[in-house]
């Protein structure tokens, strides 16, 4: 029994010891003990003989207190932990295991990497985390029956570039990523562009499920009763229903996808050195294929609810911003702080007092339509300067910020160089007293600034040229 003092028996070995001891004492038949221990009678007789010769220590496994035959090499474990600390310290065990295999030829099991990261303090086990409460929510049965859409404003390129927005489309039945689109801001035109790519790739789903953002639900719905937005009107023309969730957990598929993307996609962009939205949109296609291979679920029904686009459904005309504007007596149309001068013709004079359709395309083009035909016009920007506290619409904000930044740069340059301001009359008088022969420098005025901004955003006549379709077009 000296061996038992040095080696501790497990509960299973202790139960086996009691049964074999009963066989040695003659209290239990060997065949009966074999039934209790799920062993053969011959094995029970061997264990009884070992107990008589060696005591209780004879029933302990010979592998006890010895290293496992399946243990990993200590050098490989140290190398794996060093690589993870250096390059993948904020990775999860699953993704870190994949990167060790793909990039460093370190072949380890996912659970082995998890245990190594836990021992190194790089990962917290799930049992030690605060538990979360999740209510059951059944998936839709068909692929393409319900698509959850949402935008995630995040530092996708970390310190390499400015933060931007990622528009995410997730199928409710399978959790598949249907579309990923990087854009500067979450606007109607951004969703128009992303939805166009979706429709051309997959077809028309039954419905889109979103939050109560102003792109999907009018902010004045409580007062006016009109909940149809430009995005909702476009989807209605395509015969696609749109629904708004009452809370974020209601669209949990896309919310959960945000967490995974903010972890995996950010690191994949970092490893590939991607720092522009154009390159990220190109890489998104291969990332979605890898993501769906890992996380997509099979639908309960094999039926695909997507419908093809009809020949009479023109996406160029449907995915536009449409408003109604009245023609004044001077043949002008005011829309979004811009006055459009119509040609003085007999046909156009008949339009005085009528409401015309003003269509704004994602690429910045403006069309004024009467009876289905586009009219010729000359734009005149009414926004000549920035007033403090002025109310600016979201779709106009990009142009306003450009003007504000240019004005601020002009004021800073004037202050640094000591140029005379409008209120410093004494300095203005002294500035006129120059040495003979010096050339008078022309001051860059506010009118010059606005003219330069309009020149970059508008042409002197005709439609507005194409601009960056990812941002609300400026004029």
H helices of 88-229, in order, are 93-103, 110-119, 188-202, 221-224
Give the per-residue pLDDT at 460.
40
- First CA to last CA across the chain, in angstroms? 94
Segment (H or E) for 322? strand 321-326
**Pairing state of beta strands 366-370 and 373-375?**
antiparallel
pLDDT number for residue 285: 94
Alpha-carbon span 291 to 178, nearest angstrom: 11
**Longest CA–CA separation in the chain, Å:** 130
Which positions ≥6 away from 114 have C-beta within 8 Å? 93, 123
220 CB neighbour count, 10 Å cutoff: 10
4 Cβ neighbours under 8 A, 6+ residues apart: 55, 56, 57
Q: Is 401 helix (H, G, I), strand (E, B) or coil?
A: helix
The CA–CA distances, whole Å, from 50 to 41, 229, 364 equal 14, 84, 90
* 87 vs 79: CA distance, rounded Å: 12
**What span, in angstroms and rounded, lies between the C-alpha atoms of 360 and 362?**
7
Pairing between β-strand 338-342 and β-strand 355-360 as defined by DSSP bridges: unpaired
**Alpha-helix runs per DSSP H in 272-356:** 277-295, 315-318, 346-349
Spatial separation of the C-alpha atoms in residues 36 and 34, rounded to whole Å: 5
- Distance (Å, whole) CA 76 – CA 70: 13
- Give how far the C-alpha of residue 474 lies from the chain's centroid of Cα atoms, to the nearest Å: 25
Low-confidence ranges of the chain (pLDDT < 70): 1-8, 62, 64-65, 134-135, 221-226, 381-400, 411, 413-475
DSSP letter for 307, please. B
Residue 332 CA to residue 352 CA, distance in Å, equals 9
Q: What are phi and psi of 168, to 5 degrees?
A: -120, 130
Name the helix (H) or strand (E) containing 44: helix 41-54
SS3 content of the chain, % helix, strand, coil (to 5): 45, 15, 40
Q: Are 96 and 90 in contact (CB under 8 A)?
A: no
CATH homologous superfamily of 147-295 equals Ribonuclease H-like superfamily/Ribonuclease H (3.30.420.10)
Task: Of 245, 303, 326, 263, give the one whose Cα is nearest residue 92.
Answer: 263
Tell me how far CA of residue 41 lies from CA of 14, 18, 19, 21, in angstroms: 19, 16, 13, 15
Looking at residue 450, what is its pLDDT? 54
Q: Contact at 8 Å (CB) between 179 and 169?
A: yes
Residue 131 CB burial class (10 angstroms; 0-12, 13-18, ≥19): exposed
Structure tokens at 168: 């995410």
135's CB contacts (< 8 A; 6+ apart) are 249
- At which residue do the structure tokens 């945000």 appear? 258
């Amino acid at each position: 029994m000296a061996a038992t003092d040095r080696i501790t028996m497990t509960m299973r070995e202790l139960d086996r010891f009691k049964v074999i001891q009963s066989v040695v004492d003659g209290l239990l038949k060997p065949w009966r003990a074999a039934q209790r221990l799920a062993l053969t009678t011959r094995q029970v007789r061997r264990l009884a003989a070992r107990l008589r010769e060696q005591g209780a220590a004879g029933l302990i496994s010979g592998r006890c207190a010895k290293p496992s035959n399946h243990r990993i090499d200590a050098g490989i474990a140290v190398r794996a932990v060093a690589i993870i600390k250096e390059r993948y310290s904020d990775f999860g065990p699953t993704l870190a295991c994949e990167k060790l295999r793909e990039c460093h030829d370190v072949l380890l099991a996912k659970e082995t990497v998890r245990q190594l990261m836990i021992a190194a303090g790089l990962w917290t086990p799930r049992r030690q985390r605060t538990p979360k409460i999740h209510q059951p929510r059944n998936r839709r049965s068909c692929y393409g029956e319900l698509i959850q859409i949402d935008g995630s404003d995040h530092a996708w390129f970390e310190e390499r570039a400015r933060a931007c927005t990622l528009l995410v489309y997730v199928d409710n039945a399978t959790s598949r990523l249907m579309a990923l689109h990087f854009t500067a801001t979450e606007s109607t035109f951004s969703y128009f562009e992303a939805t166009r790519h979706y429709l051309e790739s997959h077809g028309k789903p039954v419905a889109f499920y979103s939050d109560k953002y102003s792109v999907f639900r009018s902010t004045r719905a409580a007062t006016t009763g009109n909940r149809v937005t430009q995005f909702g009107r476009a989807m209605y023309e395509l015969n696609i229903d749109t629904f708004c969730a009452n809370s974020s957990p209601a669209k949990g598929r896309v919310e959960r996808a945000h967490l995974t993307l903010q972890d995996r996609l950010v690191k994949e962009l970092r490893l590939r050195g991607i720092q522009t939205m154009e390159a990220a949109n190109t890489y998104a296609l291969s990332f979605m294929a890898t993501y769906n291979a890992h996380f997509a679920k099979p639908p309960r029904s094999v039926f695909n609810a997507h419908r093809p686009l009809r020949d009479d459904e023109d996406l160029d005309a449907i995915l536009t911003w449409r408003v109604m504007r009245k023609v004044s007596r001077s043949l002008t149309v005011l829309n979004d702080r811009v006055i459009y001068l119509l040609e003085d013709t007999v046909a156009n004079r008949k339009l005085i007092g009528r409401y015309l359709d003003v269509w704004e395309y994602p690429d910045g083009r403006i069309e004024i339509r009467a009876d289905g035909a586009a009219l010729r016009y000359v734009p005149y920007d009414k926004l000549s300067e920035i007033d403090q506290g002025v109310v600016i619409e979201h779709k106009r904000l990009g142009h306003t910020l450009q003007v504000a930044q240019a004005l601020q740069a002009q004021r800073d340059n004037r202050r640094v160089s000591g140029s005379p301001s409008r209120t410093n009359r004494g300095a203005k008088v002294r500035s006129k007293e120059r040495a003979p022969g010096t050339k008078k420098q022309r001051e860059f005025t506010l009118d010059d600034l606005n003219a330069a901004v309009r020149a970059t955003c508008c042409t002197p006549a005709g439609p507005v040229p194409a601009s960056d379709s990812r941002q609300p077009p400026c004029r």
